[in-house]
Structure 1
Amino acid sequence: MNTFAPDATREVNFDGLVGPTHNYSGLAHGNIASASHRGLVSNPREAALQGLAKMKALHDAGFAQGVLPPQPRPAIDMLARLGFTGSPSQMLAAAQAADPAIVRAISSAAAMWTANAATITPSFDAPDGRVHFTAANLQSSFHRAIEAPTTAAALAAIFADNSHFAHHPALPATPAFADEGAANHSRLCTTYDAPGVHLFVYGRDGLDRGETTQPGAKRFTARQTWEASQAVARQHGLGAGQCVFARQSAEAIDAGVFHNDVIAVGNGPVLLYHETAFADEAGVLAELREKMGRLGATLCPVRVSRQAVSLADAVATYLFNSQLLTRADGAMVVIVPAECQRNRAVAAELDRIVADEANPIAEYRAYDVKQSMDNGGGPACLRLRVVLSAAERAAMAPAVMLDATRHTQLTEWVERHYRDRLAPDDLADPALLDENRTALDELTSLLGLGPIYAFQRA
C-alpha cells in the first residue's frame, strides 16, 4: 500500500455511485459507445458494484477515495415543469403515453460520470485561498442539463465550510456558455500543493463575433465553448498566466471525442495525450511550457502517435479516459479500462509508456467497468478530482470518504435496492420510482448529507 503523510495535500477522487436507473437509452449524441448499445438491457446492480470495486481497489492501494451520490431518477419535478399533472406515478404514466423519449431522458443515470459534475480550482491557485467549485450546466443535452441543481446541492453539503470552500452558480444554460465540467479541464503542476497551470479545452466558439474561425466538426457538435471555459476561470479568480485555453481538433470530435478526457489526461507535470487531441498541438505545448516554467514547473508531455494507436482504437478502448494517479513514492499509475488490455496496439503502447524512464508513469492497472463503458464512460468519467489540504479534508463531510466499512455498507445498500435487469421500457414502472426514492433517502443518511434531494424537502 502507498502511505501518505496524514498532513499531506492529497488529490481525492470522488467517484459517482452508479444510480439505480442505469440503462442504455443511447441519449448522448456524439458518444459512439452509448449509441451502439441503445435499447439493450442493463444491469444496474452490476454497474454499481463494478464502480464500488474500482473505488475499493484504489483505496486499498493508498489513494484517497470519496463517493458522490446518484441523482433522483426519474426526475419527477421536471415532468411538472413540462406540463404533466397529478401524482408522481400519474405524471410518469402520462409522460410515457405522450412521449417515451421524455421518460428515458428524465431517467438517465448519466450523473454517475462525475467528471462532468463541476470544475474545481484548488486553494493553492485561488486568490482567496479557498477551493472553488462551479457545477457544470451540461446544457448540450436535456438529460444532463437537469443535473446541475442537485449537483450543486450535493457539493455544497459535502464542502459546506465557507472558510475553506467557495461555490459558484452554474453558467447560463445557453449554447453560448455550454459547460461540461472537469472532463475538459486539467491542472498541471509540480506537486499538488504547488501553484498550477489550468488547461481548459473547448470545441467551439459560442458567440458570433463575425470572425473567420477554424473549420469545425461536421459529424458531431462540439460541446464545450471557449466562452464557458473563460467564464469558469473568471469565477475562480484565475489570471491569464495561470490558464491555457486549447481548442479540440475537429477530427477528434468527429471520431467520438465528445470530451477532452476521451483523448487526453493530465496529472502533476504529465500530459498524456493523443497527437490528434488539439487543433494546434505545438502551440498548446509551447504555451504550457512557458506558463509552467514561470511557476518553476517543467511540462512532461507523453505523446501517443496515430501510428502507435489509431484514433478509432483510442476512442473504442478509452485509453485516455483513464485515471492518472500519483503514488506516495512520486511515481504514477494509469488506471485503464479492461478493454485496453484486449487491444494489442493499446496494450503495447501502455507497455512502452511504462518502460520509458523519461516520464514518471511506472505502471498501469486495468479494471472492469463494462457496464459504464457500454454506456460511454470509462474510469476517468466516473470520478471528480479535488485537491485538498489536510485542513480542507477535515472540514468536509467525513462520511463520503471510502474505507472498508463504508465500502461494505454501500455494497449491501446496492444489493438491497438495485435491480439486476433494466430495459428502457422499465423506466416507466412507478414501482421503480418508489424503489429509487427509498434507496436515496437511506443513502443520504448513510453519507451524512441531509436532505439534498427535492423530494426529501417536499
Structure 2
Amino acid sequence: MAVVEINFDGLIGPSHNYAGLSLGNLASAKNAGGTSQPRSAALQGIAKMRANIALGLTQGVFLPQSRPDRAWLASLGCAPETAPVELLANALSASSMWAANAATVSPAADTEDGTCHLTVANLVTMPHRSHEWQGTLAQLRLAFANPAFTVHGPIPAPFGDEGAANHMRLSAMHDAPGVEIFVYGVTGGPFPARQHIEASRSVARLHGVSRALFVQQSEEAIAAGAFHNDVVAVANERVLFAHELAFADKDSFYRDLRALLPQVEIVEVPTAAVSLSDAIQSYLFNAQLVTLPNGGMALVLPTEAQDNSRVWRWLSEMVAGDGPIRQLIPVDVRQSMANGGGPACLRLRVVCDPETVDPRFLVDDATLDRIEDIVATHWPETIEPGRLADPELWHQIGQARASLLMALDLGELA
C-alpha cells in the first residue's frame, strides 16, 4: 500500500460570518460585527487546495454543514424564526470549515490494532462549535468507512476535546511508527483552556497509541491568544517547529521527545526575534509544514506572516540556513484569518493509503473546478451582521449546500 499524508481541507461554507463567537480568539473578537465575504472566502480556500495539489500533495475535502442548525435550535426550544439573536448566530456559524478541529487522527503505524483511528472532537467549550460533531462524524464515517479505519464518537462532556489542533505527530517518515504529542491546557489567564488532559488521555487510550507524550501548553501562550496549540507549534515527520514560549515545561518535553525519537529536529523561534504577539498576529505557526515529493520540507503559511517584517525576516534567515525547512509558500486566506483560522486550521491530516478513502472526499483540479463553479454561483457574496435573521439568507445558504452535495454525489449528507 502507498501510505501518504492527505490534507483534508474544510470548504468554507456559505454562512461564513463575523459574529465574534470565539472567546480567546483575538482575530475573531477584533472583526466581530464586520461584513464577511463567504464567496471570496471559499474561493481562497479552493486556491489553497489547488496550490497543495500543484506541490504534488494528495488533497481531500470536507463539506460545509447544514446551517442554520435547526436541530440544535430545536433542542433549545427555538426555531430560527424565534431564536434570540445570540443563539441564531451560534446556529449559523460556519466554523466546521476549520478541519483541524474535526478529529484527532492516529495513523495505523502508531496503533495497537494496526488501523488508523479517528476520534471526532466534541468542541464543548464553545457553544457555536459544540453542535458540529454530529455533522463531522457523519462525514468521517462516510470518508473512512474502509476497515483500514476505526472511527470513534466524541469524548463525553465535560472533558473538552478540540481535535488535531492540539495534537502533533513526529516520526522518521509518515509511514513509520511515530510519537504522538497531546497538548492540553490548564489555565489561560482571561481565556479558557480548551483542551483537557482527561480528553487527551482518553483519545490516546481509545486509539491504542503506544508512544504518547502529554504536554501542557503554557498559560502565557493561551493568555496571548494561542487558543489552540497549532497557533504556536506545528510538527511534520522528524521536525518540530515551535515558539520558545509554546509549552509550560519545554525542557522536560524536549528531553522526553528526544529519548523517544533521537532523530527529531527542533526548530525553535526565540522570543527575542519574534514575540508571542507577532507570532499570533501573523499566524506564523498556523502553517502547513509539509514534505514535498522531492523530500524537502516547505512551510505553507498565511500572507500575514509575509506582511510582518519581523516574522518574515526571521523566516527568511531560517530558510537561508542549513535547516530542514527549505521553502516558504505564502497563501491568501484572509477571510479565514479574519475569523481566527489560518492554513493549518483549515486542514485535517490523515496518513493512510488513498485507495482506502471514499473517492468522493478526494479532490483534483477537475473536482475543484466543479466546486468553484457552485461557489461562484450560489455562495452569498457578503453577509452583514444584520442579515443573520433574514430567512432569504437562510434559504440561499441551504440551496448553496444542496447544490454542492448534488454535484459531488453526497446526498447522504443532506
TM-score, scaled to structure 1: 0.89
1:425 Cα deviation from its structure 2 partner: 2.2
Report the Cα distance in structure 1 between the residues aligned to 2:194 and 2:102, rounded to whole angstroms.
15
Tell me the alpha carbon deviations over residues 350-393 of structure 1, each in whole angstroms, 9 at most, x when there is no partner: 11221221x3211101011000000000000000000012xxx2
Report the Cα distance in structure 2 between the residues aligned to 1:159 and 1:450, rounded to whole angstroms.
17
Hey, what does 1:291 align to over in structure 2? Answer: 260
Tell me the alpha carbon deviations over residues 183-210 of structure 1, each in whole angstroms, 9 at most, x when there is no partner: 0001100001110000110002xxxxxx
**What is the correspondence of 1:24-423 to structure 2 with a 5 Å cutoff?**
24-84=18-78, 91-95=79-83, 99-161=84-146, 163-174=147-158, 177-204=159-186, 216-239=187-210, 242-293=211-262, 298-357=263-322, 359-389=323-353, 393-423=354-384
The residue matched to 2:388 in structure 1 has which SS? helix
1:411 Cα deviation from its structure 2 partner: 0.4
Q: Percent identity?
A: 46
Partner amino acid for 2:95? A
8 A Cα contact 2:24 2:225, kept in partner = yes
Partner amino acid for 2:123? L
Report the Cα distance in structure 2 between the residues aligned to 1:158 and 1:448, rounded to whole angstroms.
13
Report the Cα distance in structure 1 between the residues aligned to 2:142 and 2:2, rounded to whole angstroms.
24
Partner amino acid for 2:51? A
In the alignment of these two chains, the number of paired residues is 414
Structure 2 regions of 5+ residues with no counterpart?
Answer: none
Tell me the alpha carbon deviations over residues 100-152 of structure 1, each in whole angstroms, 9 at most, x when there is no partner: 01111110011100100000011111111111110000000010000001100
Greater Cα offset, 425-434 or 17-26: 425-434
Structure possessing the higher radius of gyration over alpha carbons: 1
8 A Cα contact 2:380 2:397, kept in partner = no
Report the Cα distance in structure 1 between the residues aligned to 2:2 and 2:292, rounded to whole angstroms.
12
Report the Cα distance in structure 2 between the residues aligned to 1:67 and 1:366, rounded to whole angstroms.
20
Greater Cα offset, 32-41 or 75-84: 75-84
Report the Cα distance in structure 2 between the residues aligned to 1:356 and 1:10, rounded to whole angstroms.
28
8 A Cα contact 1:104 1:424, kept in partner = no
The residue matched to 1:11 in structure 2 has which SS? strand
8 A Cα contact 1:399 1:446, kept in partner = no
The residue matched to 1:340 in structure 2 has which SS? helix
2:388 to 423, 427, 436: 427
Partner amino acid for 2:316? D
The residue matched to 2:17 in structure 1 has which SS? coil
Report the Cα distance in structure 2 between the residues aligned to 1:414 and 1:259, rounded to whole angstroms.
29
Tell me the alpha carbon deviations over residues 154-213 of structure 1, each in whole angstroms, 9 at most, x when there is no partner: 11011112x211111101121xx1000000001100001110000110002xxxxxxxxx
1:404 Cα deviation from its structure 2 partner: 1.4
The residue matched to 2:118 in structure 1 has which SS? strand
Report the Cα distance in structure 2 between the residues aligned to 1:444 and 1:121, rounded to whole angstroms.
28
Report the Cα distance in structure 2 between the residues aligned to 1:448 and 1:185, rounded to whole angstroms.
32
Report the Cα distance in structure 2 between the residues aligned to 1:400 and 1:131, rounded to whole angstroms.
17
Hey, what does 2:3 align to over in structure 1? Answer: 9
Report the Cα distance in structure 2 between the residues aligned to 1:35 and 1:203, rounded to whole angstroms.
21
1:234 Cα deviation from its structure 2 partner: 0.4
1:448 Cα deviation from its structure 2 partner: 3.5
Report the Cα distance in structure 1 between the residues aligned to 2:135 and 2:365, rounded to whole angstroms.
27
8 A Cα contact 2:217 2:229, kept in partner = yes
Cα distance change, pair 266–223 in 1 and its aligned pair in 2 (3 A): same
Report the Cα distance in structure 1 between the residues aligned to 2:360 and 2:152, rounded to whole angstroms.
24
Report the Cα distance in structure 1 between the residues aligned to 2:401 and 2:144, rounded to whole angstroms.
19
Report the Cα distance in structure 1 between the residues aligned to 2:410 and 2:260, rounded to whole angstroms.
39
Partner amino acid for 1:16? G
TM-score, scaled to structure 2: 0.98
Structure 1 regions of 5+ residues with no counterpart?
Answer: 1-6, 85-90, 205-215
Report the Cα distance in structure 2 between the residues aligned to 1:275 and 1:336, rounded to whole angstroms.
19
1:450 Cα deviation from its structure 2 partner: 3.5
8 A Cα contact 1:273 1:320, kept in partner = yes
Partner amino acid for 1:188? L
8 A Cα contact 2:302 2:343, kept in partner = yes
Report the Cα distance in structure 1 between the residues aligned to 2:73 and 2:90, rounded to whole angstroms.
11
1:328 Cα deviation from its structure 2 partner: 1.2
Partner amino acid for 2:269? V
1:217 Cα deviation from its structure 2 partner: 2.5
Partner amino acid for 1:379? P
Partner amino acid for 2:37? N
The residue matched to 1:451 in structure 2 has which SS? helix
Report the Cα distance in structure 2 between the residues aligned to 1:108 and 1:446, rounded to whole angstroms.
23
Hey, what does 1:212 align to over in structure 2? Answer: none
The residue matched to 1:106 in structure 2 has which SS? helix
1:435 Cα deviation from its structure 2 partner: 2.1
8 A Cα contact 1:111 1:144, kept in partner = yes
Please tell me the root mean square deviation across aligned C-alpha atoms, in Å: 1.1
The residue matched to 1:65 in structure 2 has which SS? strand
Report the Cα distance in structure 2 between the residues aligned to 1:138 and 1:230, rounded to whole angstroms.
16
1:334 Cα deviation from its structure 2 partner: 0.0
